[in-house]
Amino acid sequence: MMTKITREYLQQLDEKDGLAKFRNEFYLNDQVIYLNGNSLGLLSRRAEASLNEVMEMWKQYGIDGWMKGKRPWFYFTDELSELMAPLVGAAPEEVCVTGSTTTNIHQMIATLYQPTKERYKILADELNFPSDIYALKSQLALKGYHEDALVQVQSRDGQTLLTDDIIAQMTDDIALILLPSVLYRSGQVLDMKTLTEEAHRRGIVIGFDLCHSIGSLPHELNAWDVDFAVWCTYKHLNGGPGSIGGLYINEKHHVHAPGLAGWFGSDKNKQFDMEHDFSQAIDAGAYQIGTPHMLSAAPLIGALEMMNEATIDAVRAKSLLMTDLLIELVTEHLVPLGFIITTPLDHHARGGHLYIEHDEAARITKAMKAEGIIPDFRAPKGIRLSPVALYNTFTELYDTVSIIKSIMTEEKYREYKNEREVVA
């Protein structure tokens, strides 16, 4: 890397950027640098078009939209599974676009968590997103266990997890493991392949929450023999606020009846027989619970088509270069002003965002927004910066750091209270 990065150098990178053409497909505000794509991705024209297509079908066909038109709604999630499968390294039959992250966790745990007297605990970690932990505690309670049946791997630095520490907790009483692929604060990527191998060596079912990696880095869930995974689609996949989630369940587990059965998990040829005996689908579609939420699923057609056109490998390469450059800029200009980088510096251990900390982070974030930079605050003192390969530019990185530097040197942050907003 260069010792000093100039704006001119970053302009040259923008001119050579093979993904630059996709920026024009998004609705952008010229007065804003949007670096919060790991919370909510921006709207693209393709996503808007596929949403409008479903709206037009509703307008034209009414109830007949389920079986008429270019994309009959009854088979809509099958097409989404085809588009999603390459992003997680799975066969389409192992993927289902359905529900939300948390409901899909409930479904996977209800299906694959099969405790015995000797093996009944669930292993997670202390750095995971709260909703995952709520779901695990809920599932344990439903099975009659107390919270001490949830084992959480401890972090040595409050930011990252060591692979060896996770493996050390894979004891004989662990029945199932759920871990994040990328830690939502620090952006650390866990070694999913090694963790899966070690879990299986001990006879433990293992799954991952891919919310902060899907659409940001490649996965090989099938090759790694991961048992299950869940994810959202509104971050790096740009599916829209509250867009439909997704799940992966390894083909070897398709023999299991869904823990939470619902009629859209039926064999499609029998679904409308209206029988009270459940005939489940033979693939991951069996783990759908209810009718697809068409208006939150529709934008994904356009969003996923664009992602696959760009290719996840190209997205990952640009993303890593952007965070490399951002690390260099922050180190040069912001670390002397009291900022700390907590994201791992090694490529293999870093996801798609940079996490920096400062004691005045809440008020700094407010000042950044006032200056046209949209970051993400995480209490008590974290700022996430997520340059998205499909719509952020390299020069925006320089401008972002320059603005933060001016906020600090001119003490503009002192105009705001150092406390989070209701939604942070």
131: annotated binding-site residue? yes
Q: Is 102 annotated to bind ligand?
A: yes
212 is in an annotated binding site: yes
Residue 209, marked binder: yes
132 is in an annotated binding site: yes
Confirm or deny that 394 is annotated as ligand binding.
no
One-letter-per-residue 3-state SS of the chain:
CCCCCCHHHHHHHHHHCCCHHHHHHECCCCCCEECECCCCCCCEHHHHHHHHHHHHHHHHHHHHHHCCCCCCHHHHHHHHHHHHHHHHCCCHHHEEECCCHHHHHHHHHHHHCCCCCCCCEEEEECCCCHHHHHHHHHHHHHCCCCHHHEEEECCCCCCCCCHHHHHHCCCCCEEEEEEECECCCCCEECCHHHHHHHHHHCCCEEEEECCCCCCCCCCCHHHHCCCEEEECCCCCCCCCCCCCCEEEECHHHCCCCCCCCCHHHECCCCHHHCCCCCCECCCHHHHCCCCCCHHHHCHHHHHHHHHHHHCHHHHHHHHHHHHHHHHHHHHHHCHHHCCEECCCCCHHHECCCEEEECCCHHHHHHHHHHCCEECEEECCCEEEEECCCCCCCHHHHHHHHHHHHHHHHCCHHHHCCCCCCCCC
Check the annotation: does 101 bind a ligand. yes
213 annotated ligand binder: no
Residue numbers in the known binding site for pyridoxal 5'-phosphate are: 101-102, 129-132, 209, 212, 234, 263, 291
Residue numbers in the known binding site are: 101-102, 129-132, 209, 212, 234, 263, 291
